[in-house]
Every structure is written in C-alpha cells, then in structure tokens.
C-alpha cells in the first residue's frame, strides 16, 4: 500500500500566523510520531500517538505546539503564533506496534515550514 504522506510539502508563513500540518500514516499503523529536523541536524522527537491518544508529548517545545489524532489515523500538528525559530522540516512516521515486528518506523517526505 501507500507509504506515509504529508501535506503540504512546503509551507511559507509569516511570523505570528497559525499553521496546520497533516500526516496520513500507513493504513493499519496504530502508532504515529512527529519529529522536527533543523538544517544539519538529526530529527528531534515531538510527540507520539498510540491510537487516538498522545502517549508521549514530552518533545513538544512549548504550548504553541499541539497535535491531534481524533480517529486514530490522520494526525494534524498545529502551531500557533509561529516564530522564525519554528522553521524546519516536520517529519511524520508510523509503525505497527509489536515486539515481533520491531516497531520499525516508516517516515513520510516531510513538510518544510518557513516562517518569515
């Protein structure tokens, strides 16, 4: 089937604006993750969903960042009052959870966010 998809692929916004980034995981994957990757760095964890609930949101940098996954499939990352420092590539990944499966994470192509 299709892999993880993310929309939009690029988003340019002005400082102070609100943005939403969407992630469609691989069908049937119960776990969904958001990461943020700045230039020259590895991805940094933001939040992890198991089903509809956020199992770990310890990576969200502050309360301007929020994510939802209301039906346990598609997820939306929401950023309020964007700042220039939020500019990065936002990556989404999904996996099937199970010890025998190794919980391998499969990544989408990312959304490049630029805050002017």
Partner 1 sequence: KQEVTQIPAALSVPEGENLVLNCSFTDSAIYNLQWFRQDPGKGLTSLLLIQSSQREQTSGRLNASLDKSSGRSTLYIAASQPGDSATYLCAVRTGANSKLTFGKGITLSVRP
Q: Minimum distance from CB of 115 to partner 1 (Å)?
A: 18
Tokens encoding 52: 């509809």
Taking the least distance from each CB to partner 1, the nearer of 41 and 80 is 41
Residues lying near partner 1 in the complex (CB under 8 A) are found at 4, 31, 33, 35, 40-45, 48, 50, 55-56, 59, 91, 93, 95, 97, 102-110, 112
Taking the least distance from each CB to partner 1, the nearer of 42 and 70 is 42
In this structure, are strands 75-79 and 65-68 parallel, antiparallel, or unpaired?
A: antiparallel
Burial 32-48 (b: 16+ CB within 10 A, else e): bbbbbeeeeeebeebbb
Taking the least distance from each CB to partner 1, the nearer of 80 and 103 is 103
Q: Minimum distance from CB of 57 to partner 1 (Å)?
A: 11
In sequence order, the 6+-apart residues with CB closer than 8 A to the CB of 12 are 114, 116
């Amino acid at each position: 089937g299709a892999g993880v998809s993310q929309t939009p692929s690029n988003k340019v916004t002005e400082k102070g604006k609100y943005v939403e980034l969407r992630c469609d995981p691989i069908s049937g994957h119960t776990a969904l993750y958001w990461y943020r990757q700045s230039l020259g760095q590895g991805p940094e964890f933001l939040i992890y969903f198991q089903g509809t609930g956020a199992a770990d949101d310890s990576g969200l940098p502050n309360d301007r960042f929020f994510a939802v996954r209301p039906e346990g499939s598609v997820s939306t990352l929401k950023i309020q009052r964007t700042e220039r420092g939020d500019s990065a590539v936002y990556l989404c990944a999904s996996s099937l959870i199970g010890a025998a499966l190794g919980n391998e994470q499969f990544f989408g192509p990312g959304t490049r966010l630029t805050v002017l």
